[in-house]
């Protein structure tokens, strides 16, 4: 992330959040979503389309059981590193479905290509939902024929709704900035609420931009940003079979081509980082049954990697998560989480704070008001800060509390 740190104050000030923006805000992108009948009464099939083939990059789950759609998308991107459309269904993950599942994913790609009259290699395929069930291809076929993409906010919302499973809200964000004298826009959307403990990304995330950047540098940029954003969230410690982050850059902003040496390349990286971090935090906040978003910041570590590792261990601890849910300022659970990590920690120099309340100073307990702590922990955003006093590096992670509703939701997921 050192390139990002080189962004100057003037460059950073040009990055603007577009509150009502979405995946169709960048020039040349359209979307659609319909109810194809895969779910009982909600939209369940969507598409994002670029006017022209877009330079593309993606990162996928590290699970040994990668779903069939991932293999098809990987093949599509490998063909020419260009994607013009991504078709997504919910309700069925098309994972662990053998040769038939793979054939269905290829068929889904071909049906979308025929509908849009583009090359099949320009279509990416993504699925989410129940593992081990086959796609209802007759409904996929009929649903694709219903998709009429456009660039209105309603069409973006329809796509975002179509990709949800146990999510309670749609996740989206949009930013713009000046790059080489042109306005470049980046929009993103994601779905994810449970089975969130990525070793790459999250459940599903799709990012569109009109920036002019080639696929190789786009891939390098995405791989650079993932470790500090999507890889730093956890809801329940489980990594999905379908996790994907896909970025499409169609170049229609007509900025001069971005290279590592381009003076505005750090601005692009900052745009990508802000987009990924925003979506990651929205997923963590919407964890199944969650009532609170937890942010853990670790400082004073020997390396950024170790700081991120410790932060994620804390936010992923079921004991920490349940304590936050119960508004119990039990800092001993934070210490326990730190102690489990394979990192260099001096057990005599650790500070812990919850909000502005100091619980531990140089590994010595500090007196604090239980009433004040409970009042803070009753809020919907909880910040835990740890200073190891063992170096200069920092790292963050995000997660949520663990409530009774998480068990209820997952005990009846298939019904």
**Active-site amino acid positions:** 202
Distance CA 260, CA 273 (A): 16
Radius of gyration of the chain (CA): 22
Distance CA 261, CA 100 (A): 46
Residues 251, 242, 399: CA angle, nearest 5 degrees: 90
Which tokens sit at 162?
Answer: 């179509």
HSE (side-chain half, CA atoms, 13 Å) at 20: 3
Contact assessment for residue 198 and residue 239, using Cβ atoms and an 8 Å cutoff: yes
């Amino acid at each position: 992330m050192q390139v990002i740190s080189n962004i100057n104050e003037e460059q950073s000030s040009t990055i603007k959040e577009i509150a009502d923006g979405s995946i169709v805000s960048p020039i040349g992108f359209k979307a659609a979503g319909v109810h194809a009948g895969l779910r009982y009464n909600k939209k369940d099939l969507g598409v994002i389309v670029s006017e022209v083939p877009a330079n593309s990059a993606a990162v996928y789950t590290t699970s040994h059981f990668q779903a069939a759609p991932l293999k098809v998308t990987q093949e599509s991107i490998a063909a020419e590193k260009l994607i013009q459309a991504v078709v997504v269904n919910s309700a069925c993950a098309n994972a662990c479905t053998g040769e038939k599942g793979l054939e269905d994913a290829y068929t889904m790609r071909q049906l979308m290509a025929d509908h849009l009259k583009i090359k099949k290699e320009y279509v990416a395929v993504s699925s989410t939902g129940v593992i081990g069930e086959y796609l209802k291809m007759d409904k996929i076929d009929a649903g694709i024929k219903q998709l009429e993409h456009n660039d209105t906010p309603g069409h973006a919302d329809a796509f975002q709704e179509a990709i949800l499973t146990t999510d309670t809200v749609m996740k989206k964000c949009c930013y713009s900035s000046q790059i080489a004298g042109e306005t470049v826009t980046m929009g993103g959307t994601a779905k994810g609420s449970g089975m969130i403990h990525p070793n790459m990304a999250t459940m599903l995330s799709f990012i569109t931009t009109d920036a002019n950047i080639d696929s190789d540098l786009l891939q390098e940029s995405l791989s650079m940003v993932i470790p500090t954003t999507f890889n730093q969230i956890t809801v329940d410690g489980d990594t999905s079979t379908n996790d994907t982050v896909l970025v499409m850059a169609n170049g229609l902003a007509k900025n001069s081509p971005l290279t590592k040496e381009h003076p505005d390349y750090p601005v692009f990286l900052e745009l990508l980082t802000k987009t990924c971090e925003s979506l990651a935090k929205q997923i963590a906040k919407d964890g199944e049954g969650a009532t609170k978003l937890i942010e853990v910041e670790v400082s004073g570590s020997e390396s950024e990697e170790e700081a991120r590792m410790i932060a994620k261990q804390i936010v992923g601890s079921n004991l920490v998560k349940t304590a936050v849910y119960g508004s119990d300022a039990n800092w001993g659970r934070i210490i326990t989480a730190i102690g489990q990590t394979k990192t260099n920690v001096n057990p005599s120099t650790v500070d812990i704070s919850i909000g502005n309340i100091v619980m531990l100073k140089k590994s010595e307990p500090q007196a604090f008001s239980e009433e004040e702590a409970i009042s803070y922990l009753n809020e919907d955003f909880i910040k835990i800060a740890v200073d190891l006093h063992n170096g200069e590096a920092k790292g963050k992670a995000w997660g949520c509390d663990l409530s009774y509703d998480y068990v209820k939701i997952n005990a009846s997921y298939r019904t």
